[in-house]
Every structure is written in C-alpha cells, then in structure tokens.
C-alpha cells in the first residue's frame, strides 16, 4: 500500500517563497551596470530570462570549462579574484 504525501498550503507557500528568493538573487546578479547599460529594454528582458534559465539549470555556477577556453587557466584566476 502506497502512502501519498499531501502537500499542505503552508508547505506550498514555503516552496514558492524559496523559488522567489532564488529568482531574486539571480536577477540581482544579472542586473549589474554592465548589462543594464548594454542591452535595450526588450533585449535586457530576453537576456535576463536566458540567464535565469541558465542559472537555475546549472545551480547558478558559471561553467569554468567555457571560461577557461576563452581566457586560459591562469588568466581565469586573475579575473575571478
């Protein structure tokens, strides 16, 4: 016999609040002057959505393999620190 878990309203609200906090954190990371001054309004919205999707799918971590390909291992450490 399988017991199914019933999600209470409180649990559902906590899940939603957690998701909203994650999205707010990633939006803050994206909305830096470099991006705000570069994109038009429409492009900014599209780029932010793509960034949010990427950040959520990858746990908010930038892939070092992609960055190392463009900068090299030693140069990458200089730019990060």
pLDDT 10s digits, 14-63: 778 888 898 999 999 999 999 999 999 999 999 999 999 999 888 766 55
**For 8-12, 35-39, 44-48, 75-79, which range has the lowest pLDDT when averaged over its residues?**
75-79
In the chain, the N- to C-terminal Cα span, in Å, equals: 55
pTM for the predicted model, two decimal places = 0.57
Classify residue 31: in a domain, yes or no.
Answer: yes
- Domain total in the chain: 1
Contact in structure between 54 and 29 (CB atoms under 8 Å): no
Q: Which domain range does residue 63 map to?
A: 9-80
- pLDDT score, position 27: 93
pLDDT at 6: 59
Domain contains 65: yes
pLDDT for 43: 96
């Amino acid at each position: 016999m399988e017991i199914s878990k019933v999600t209470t309203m409180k649990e559902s609200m906590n899940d939603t609040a957690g998701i909203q906090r994650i999205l707010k954190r990633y939006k803050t990371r994206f909305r830096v002057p470099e991006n705000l001054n570069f994109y038009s309004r429409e492009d900014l919205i599209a780029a932010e959505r793509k960034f949010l999707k990427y950040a959520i799918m990858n746990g908010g971590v930038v892939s070092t393999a992609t960055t190392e390909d463009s900068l090299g291992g030693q140069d990458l450490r200089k730019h990060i620190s």
